[in-house]
Amino acid sequence: MLINLPDEQLVELAKGQDPDAFGEIVRRWERKIFALCFGMLGREDDAGDACQEAFIAAYKNLANFRGEAKVSSWLHRIAVNQCLTIKRRQKTRAEDFLDDEDGSQDKVFVAAAHLSPARKTEQAERMHLVRSAVGALPGELREVIVMKEFEDMTFQEISETLELPLSTVKSRLYTALKQLKMKLERTPVEVV
């Protein structure tokens, strides 16, 4: 029943001390908030920490949500603040331990946790969906995404490779990601 309720109503229920309502909010938004944190921090483990702290902060500040903005925007802002806090903390830590600044841990793949069969099925469906969505992009947008995400090239390198202005490369990547997001949301994967 909670699954069918809009975000704003779930927040009102959560304000009334309904733990399942806030649990539904978390389930509904955890992946997107995690992605936002990953976009800001660039590491999965840091993104996981930021995501956890963001939802805790949201739960503590439920009373401050007045419905002026969408729930998604409210959660986004909380997550951004948590990410910036973590960044500042990391910066201070890096200044204390200069040896850790060699950049060897810029992009760390965290070992996948043990997934239930239902989660595995969901993930497989999601991968299929992403593959189809990327494949459906126009070639000029797809090549930029592949160069950036798969080849780990900088914008400057992509610009030189494709002989395009730097601004065009950034614009194409932004457009590609926006289109990809729309395609992914059009056919959402249901969590079992």
**Which residues lie near other proteins (CB under 8 A)?**
31-36, 38-40, 42, 69, 72-73, 76-77, 79-81, 84, 87, 109, 123, 126-127, 130-131, 133-134, 145, 148-150, 154-155, 167, 170-171, 173-174, 177-178, 180-181, 184
CB of 1 to other proteins, least distance (A): 27
Residue 20 or 149 with smaller CB distance to other proteins: 149
Residue 20 or 140 with smaller CB distance to other proteins: 140
CB of 129 to other proteins, least distance (A): 8
Residue 18 or 159 with smaller CB distance to other proteins: 159
CA triple 104-106-109, angle to 5 deg: 100
CA triple 88-152-82, angle to 5 deg: 20
Q: Contact, 33 vs 54, CB < 8 A?
A: yes
Helix (H) or strand (E) holding 138, with range, is none
CA triple 141-188-55, angle to 5 deg: 100
